[in-house]
Amino acid sequence: MDDIIIIGGGIAGVSIAARISKFMKVTLLEREDSLGYHASGRSAAVFLKDYGNNIVKALNHASCDYLEKANGGVLSPRGLLMLGSMRDNDSFTAESQKLGLTQVSLKEAKLKFPLLNPQTTKHAAYREDIFDLDTDLFLQNFLREAKKNNTQVKTKSEVYEIIFQNNYWKIRTQNGEYSGRVLINASGAWVDEIAILAGIPPINFTPYRRSVARVPVPGAEDPSTWPLLLGVNEAWYAKPDAGALIVSPAEEELVSPQDAWAEDLTLAEGIDRFQQFIVPRITSISSNWAGLRTFSPDRSLVIGPSKENSNFFWFGGQGGYGFQTAAAASQLAMELLLGKQPSLPSDIVRALAPGRFN
């Protein structure tokens, strides 16, 4: 029997496996053939320190040091440029301040992003300390650590039955049976489904789809030094990515847990909103994808033991911040599992605890 069984091989499951396997015997179960197949393979790979509610921001800030330094670091400079049109006259200042941006002239903005259309763009604001986050390297670093500590990683292992008996969990997958003392639910969009299988009341998580189109850079310029580009109220965003641009309508489409895909109309909407701020025409999409951003009812992560059964540990609701919060979130999960005093302030720990929901 193991000490810990983790369900979910995304950034949440792999990061907590790395942390806790130093102290306990761990098995990680993932349904798909490979790790990071769902949300964790579909992100925009950005680290935006001041993105999310105050609880999420506390996790972002507490993750900074690890993201910058651990295993040589996973961040590289990107910058963020918010663009607004005449329609945004009333909201631009407040929106840009929310993300800690400073207003810049259109001339400065065009130097940073040469495709900018000065006829339609009326406002610009910029922040330097926004980073690309190498999500694959980050996940692989955690995985290496987990394996070094003898974590058993089982892919193609969909959990379909969970029984709690004599104080331990018996977990059936299509690839075998596992047992452990503590079950960590890190199953992304499926967290409520796993809870129900385990006889724990669901928290009412909501998976929202977000779509991304990869487009050739119009005018064939080299985009590598351009910043992340963002519309007011997160109406769209665009980012240089391996010589191309990724463009998202930043939608939040409520869906059931699933292998998400992008709809043509949604992708076109995102491109249309971005197109309004640039001169050359975007004429084609080279590839696209969608992923699920899964939120708890108050949009903060849920980290801690269930009040119904303290051997069931919630690690869900990573929303749109699963990578940028992973270092601090997994640290907190480890401290709680080991019964140690959390390094985060107690009000933050309480705001992340599952017990806050009735």
For residues 158 and 272, which CB has a smaller minimum distance to ligand FAD in the complex? Answer: 158
For residues 40 and 306, which CB has a smaller minimum distance to ligand FAD in the complex? Answer: 40
The stretch near ligand FAD (CB under 6 A) out of 9-17, 89-97, 140-148, 341-349 is 9-17
Q: How far apart are CA 138 and CA 74, in angstroms?
A: 6
Angle between helices 326-337 and 54-69 (to 10 degrees): 100
Chain position carrying tokens 């005093």:
341
Token pair in block for residue 255: 């869906």
For residues 95 and 192, which CB has a smaller minimum distance to ligand FAD in the complex? Answer: 192
76 Cα distance to chain centroid: 17
Q: Does 45 bind ligand FAD (CB under 6 A)?
A: yes
Could you tell me the smallest distance in angstroms from the CB atom of residue 216 to ligand FAD? 20
Q: Does 42 bind ligand FAD (CB under 6 A)?
A: yes
What is the 3-state composition of the chain as percent helix, strand, coil, each rounded to the nearest 5?
A: 30, 30, 40
- Is the separation of the CB atoms in 1 and 170 below 8 Å? no
The values of phi and psi at residue 160, to 5°, are -125, -10
Q: Does 32 bind ligand FAD (CB under 6 A)?
A: yes
For residues 223 and 320, which CB has a smaller minimum distance to ligand FAD in the complex? Answer: 320
- Contact track, ligand FAD, 155-184, x by CB under 6 A: ---xx-------------------------
Binding-site size for ligand FAD (CB under 6 A) equals 40
- DSSP H or E stretch at residue 303: strand 302-305
Of residues 113, 120, 115, 32, the one with CA closest to residue 80: 113
Window 297-356: residues binding ligand FAD (CB under 6 A): 318-324
For residues 135 and 306, which CB has a smaller minimum distance to ligand FAD in the complex? Answer: 135
* C-beta atoms surrounding 117 within 10 Å: 16
Site for ligand FAD, rule CB under 6 A: 7-13, 29-32, 37-40, 42-46, 158-159, 186-190, 194, 210, 212, 291-293, 318-324
